[in-house]
Amino acid sequence: MQHRIITTAALAAGIALAVPTTAWASAPAGHHPAPTTSTVTYSASDAVIPNPSRGFDHTTETHYRADGSGYTPLDLQTLRGYRADGVTQIVRVFYMEAFVHQQRLSPTWLRLVQRDYDTARQAGVGVITRFAYVQGGDYPYAAPYGDADLPTVLSHIQQLTPTLRRNADVIPTLQEGFIGLWGEGYYTDHFASDPANPGVLTPADEDARRQVVQAELRALPSSRSIQVRTMQMKQSALGTPSGTAGALTPAQAHDGSAASRIGHHNDCFLASPDDFGTFLTDPLSLDQDYLAADSRYVPVGGETCAVNAPRSEYPSASAEMARYHYSYLNLDYNKDVLATWGQDGMTDAAKKLGYRFTMTSSTVTSGWDAAVSVSVRNDGWAAPYNPRPVQLVLTDGHRRVTVPVRADASAWQPGTTATVTASLTRVPAGTWHVALAMPAAERSTAQDPAFAIQTANVGTWDAQAGVNQLGQVVTVRH
């Protein structure tokens, strides 16, 4: 592989940074020269950064009816247009009308789903996925609603497992779906004993829902999570209380347990005091405190639902998105709510939804004990909710060396600064330009810059290589 030579002068011209400070000392004859150090500080960018698995999303849907009609495939140029506008992910709802009373999924439909994921991968776009059987019409909704029963749902999840695992690289998270209108778990024929009163659940109803959650967690690789529609749904699935007592602790975060792999999506964000039945405890503060704590480690997103001033206006909305660690929000709905935010509010949210990593400084030590350290601040509202490796990439114009760093950027919480350090003693001798890389964890997308993380700095991003240049040169001696 060829690599272009990046000169020190070119780097300095492209990066807004302070003059490096260098310290050295003369070595006595017969000894190795003392190491030299160079520290660079970086300027933060004010731009909206189109990073994966965060930010505003567009929501799409497609259908597959009994006669095979209704499927609208994802369009590559449309997705590329989203990417060019800074939107890196979509929510995709796959309606499965043809299979409500049929346990066997059609190979034709499965191929259509696979092609959608292939298209998204080609466009560099993630697909937050939901499967459902029926949409709601005009309110009020009346039974029968038209969703599938438990054996059918479990059979479908099992058949979808190969597709979900094969495409986990472009599925940031899976919304629970399947149950009820829109797959939101409420208006249902089979998961509430009295469909006319779907808010009242028996132990048998809760067990049936728990089986769906467990099946979805099994269907996904351990690196991926699901999202449920209300906090109560997660609490019921795990048998935990609301309030901070039931929320994830730092020790549980990313431990692979069911609790660490269930997040939240609120599709009526800001609409009323309880977000139209999203917060269900008495007092509501129990669920609110629960979500504030739980959301530090799991995916949170959704959409606004109705104008509800002053809560739905930006000062209040942004405070809640920060408190609940929102990673994404639907750009298409509710536009009346989003219009009240104004351009300044929309731009601010586009910057802060999810993570926003800003390099603050780096220090390079050259010599026989060469090393590099980089400090990164998270200015967003959330941490990445999927594993995210951290690497140093060294190039000299002809060679490229990747040095893994013992860090996972998913641990970098908002409002904190992380400093990562790596020894270069095993790197071949030479003089190297240094970059920070945070590629996708999956091999299929690890080399694609569209799935790598760009820091919010001026002049550091190498879009072709998908790395953040430090503007530093390190000399390694052996």
Over range 266-293, report the average pLDDT: 98
Lowest mean pLDDT among 135-144, 305-314, 456-465: 135-144
Over range 65-72, report the average pLDDT: 96
Q: Render pLDDT for 163-210 as a digit per residue (tens, 0 to 9).
A: 999 999 999 999 999 999 999 999 999 999 999 999 999 999 999 999
Q: Give pLDDT, residue 33.
A: 75
Q: Give pLDDT, residue 111.
A: 98
Distance CA 158, CA 110 (A): 13
Q: Render pLDDT for 75-94 as a digit per residue (tens, 0 to 9).
A: 999 999 999 999 999 999 99
CA-only gyration radius of the chain, Å: 24
pLDDT of 28 > 80? The answer is no
**pTM across the whole model:** 0.93
Q: Render pLDDT for 211-260 as a digit per residue (tens, 0 to 9).
A: 999 999 999 999 999 999 999 999 999 999 999 999 999 999 999 999 99
Question: Which band of pLDDT confidence, cut at 50, 70 and 90, is reported for residue 31?
Answer: low
Q: Render pLDDT for 126-148 as a digit per residue (tens, 0 to 9).
A: 999 999 999 998 889 999 999 99
Distant-in-sequence, close-in-space partners of 92: CB < 8 Å, separation ≥ 6 = 59, 60, 61, 62, 74, 116, 127, 128, 129, 130
Q: Render pLDDT for 322-361 as a digit per residue (tens, 0 to 9).
A: 999 999 999 999 999 999 999 999 999 999 999 999 999 9
**What's the mean per-residue pLDDT of the chain?**
93
